[in-house]
Structure 1
Amino acid sequence: MLVLRPVEPTDLPQLQQLARDSLVGVTSLPDDSERLREKIASSCASFDSEAKAQGPENYFFVLEDLDSQKLVGCSEILATAGFNEPFYSLRNRHFTSASRELNIEHGVPALSLCHDLSGHTLLRGFHIDAGLVRTPFSELLSRARLLFIAAHSGGFADAVITEIVGYSDENGHSPFWDALGKHFFDLPYVEAERLCGLQSRTFLAELMPQYPIYVPMLPQAAQDCIGAVHPDGQEAFDILEREGFETNSYIDLFDAGPTLYARTANIRSIAKGQTATVDQQATIDARGRYLLSNDGLHGFRAIVAELDYQPGQPLALTPALCAALHVTDGSTIRLTSL
């Protein structure tokens, strides 16, 4: 059985292996033991804080195979993007110029450095083993974070965002970075992303051009990257799009990947999620597949299970499912259909 749970200090060796296997551009998952150790400690402190209001907390989750005790994925929630430093991105909007004498008005798309998205809750750090891609466990790894937000809504913003990794080729070259960022830093794309993971994007962002960059002046290959999704990032995009997230006018600073946005109250797993009381039974006449979680904080657990759920009725769970979720008879459970 696969269970999503909060990260623990003993997870460091396996977490570093996940970082090695993760997609270039997932800067929140650096392949560096000291940085990962700091991230784990920060996450443990966040789970222990019992925050009642939105703050700097980051909640890091791992997907564990209980039989083998192997970690097969991870994902994260940052309660407030830009809480400790600006959260930089590029705003892609039309710049309109006009001439009354010539009766001409012309709009040109332009990219502007901004930190408009600071203050939103940020989903990040999504990675799952290749053998589990496009299975219900990918849904568990991504969407269980939304059930956690629903259970502890006071600690999160009214809007949620996520940055999807943009296009780079099999050799790690990003046409967008080569056309823009590389002119300001003599670094390849992979190295720039690595430095962001080890430190922050702020020191790089502050050296980026402060004036609008007119999109038609970029090479066509770079223009084609704007809002494009890396093939290995498509599943993360698709899952959240089904949740009601939409692209907007913001893109990633380095690879031009799209930013997804949703009002928290409108997210499917939050708006249509259900709660039920646990009724422990030896067997279940399963009729549908669901994602379910407890409402714990440090003890948060989430799984995928075949259930017989009837709205307004107690939810039958086997002893094995109860043990995986750390619940007993009468506990409150949160669930949403797959």
Structure 2
Amino acid sequence: MLIQRLCTLADLPEIERLAIASPVGITSLPANSEQLAVIIEGSEAATDETVTFTGEERYFFVLEDLETGRLAGCSSIMSAAGFSQPFHTFRNDIFMHASRELGLHNRMHVLSLCHDLTGHSLLTGFYLDTPWKGDYATLKLNACGRLLFMASHPQRFAESTAVEISGVCDEQGNSPFWDGLGRHFFDVDYREAERLSGSHGRGLLAELMPGYPIYVSMLPDATQEVIGQVRPASQVVYDILMQEGFETDNYVDIFDGGPVVQAKSAELTSVRGSEVATVHIGQPAAATGTWLVANEKIRDFRSCLCELAWQPGEPVTLDARLAELLKVTEGDTIRLIGGA
């Protein structure tokens, strides 16, 4: 069984193992123990009960395989993207060029560097270890369990949430988008650009990007073809996010051209559609469905997928083992939504 929880410093060796295995493009998961330790310590500090507004907090979640003790994956939420420096993306724009005298007009697709999404909460750092990548239920838990944390503690997050989806990149770490655009302004390959972004922040490279609109028709065909396209390995996660209500087509990543999607936090399916139930500990009836379940704690947050017999509006009966795993007792509340 997998349990999602917030990380602790004791997880550092396992998180470093995941970071080393993660593909190019997961800059929020640097394969550096010192940087990872800073991220973990920051996540632990973010769980301070006195936090009542969005700031530079980052909540780092891990999936623990209870049978082996190993981590199956991880994901994060940043309370406010760009808190210390602007969060840059390219905005998809359409410019109209017209000549009244000639009776001609053209619609031109351009990319404009912007920081429109600065201040949004950001879902980031999504990764699953190889044995779990093909399991839809695990993908769902890793992607959406953290949204139940947002639902229970809305004061800690922004009104809107964004997600960067990995763009097209080959097995050697080459990005057609970076090669056709970014590399002209910062003479390193895509792998090095992502490493620098992860260690020094996105602003370092964004400052060297052109501040004027880039006409897409002037870019190489291979670059144009991948704008807003999802890396095949990320397609299922992208589909899950679309089911949550995220919107696409407006922004793309400045490095690999992948879509950057956004939505109102309160309107996400797992936030708006989840319900709270009071816990009763006893012998459950035969399960009638699978539910994504989370307690409403902060530092002791736990989430999992489990089979339950529960009807909205009623208390939920958990056996003693599941209650212990979720760190709840009689009379506590948990949040539930229909699972995978």
Task: Tell me if TM exceeds 0.5.
Answer: yes
Letter in 1 for 2:58: N
Instruction: Measure how far apart 1:135 and its partner are.
Output: 2.4
Greater shift, 125-134 or 22-31, is seen at 125-134
Residues 150-207 of structure 1: per-residue CA shift (max 9 Å, x gap): 1000111111110000001122111110111111122110111111111201011001
1:37 maps to 2:37: yes
Give the equivalent residue in structure 1 for 2:239: 238
Instruction: Give the SS at the match of 1:59.
Output: strand
Correspondence for 1:252 = 253
TM-score, normalization: structure 1?
A: 0.98
- What percentage of aligned pairs have identical amino acids? 48
Name 1:128's counterpart in structure 2. 128
Structure 2: distance between partners of 1:235 and 1:15: 23
Compute the RMSD of aligned alpha carbons: 1.1
1:150 to 2:151 alignment: yes
Q: Which residue of 1 aligns with 2:211?
A: 210
Q: Which residue of 2 aligns with 1:67?
A: 67
State the 1:327 CA deviation: 0.3
Which 5+ residue runs of structure 1 have no aligned equivalent?
none
> Number of residues paired by the alignment?
338
Indicate conservation of the 8 Å contact 1:73/1:128, yes or no.
yes
Say if 2:296 and 2:335, in contact at 8 Å, map to a contact too. Answer: yes
Structure 2, unpaired ranges of 5+ = none
The alpha-carbon deviation at position 284 of structure 1 amounts to: 3.7
Q: Are the equivalent residues in 1 in contact too, given 2:2–2:304 (CA < 8 A)?
A: yes
1:173 is matched with: 174
Distance 2:31 2:70 in 1: 18
Moved over 6 A (4+): none
**Partner SS state of residue 48, structure 2:** helix
One-letter amino acid matched to 1:251: V
Which whole-Å CA distance do the structure 2 matches of 1:174 and 1:28 have between them?
A: 18
Q: Distance in 2 between matches of 1:169 and 1:56?
A: 33
Please give the secondary structure, in 2, of the residue aligned with 1:192: helix
TM-score (norm 2): 0.97
Following TM superposition, by how much is the alpha carbon of 1:283 offset from its aligned partner in structure 2, in angstroms?
4.1
Alignment correspondent of 2:13: 13
Deviation at 1:246, TM superposition (A): 1.6
How big is each residue's C-alpha offset from its partner over 1:231-281, in whole Å with a ceiling of 9 and x where there is no partner?
Answer: 111122111111111203100000000011111121111111011011111
Q: Check conservation: 2:284, 2:308, Cα contact below 8 A.
A: no
Report the CA distance between 1:323 and its aligned residue.
Answer: 0.8
Name the counterpart of 1:276. Answer: 277
5 Å-filtered alignment, 1:109-128, equals 109-128=109-128
CA displacement, residues 58-84 of structure 1 (integer Å, 9 cap, x when unaligned)? 100000012211111000000101111
SS at match of 1:297: coil
CA distance in 2, matches of 1:160, 1:201: 18
Check conservation: 1:60, 1:74, Cα contact below 8 A.
yes
Cα offset, 1:49, TM superposition: 4.8
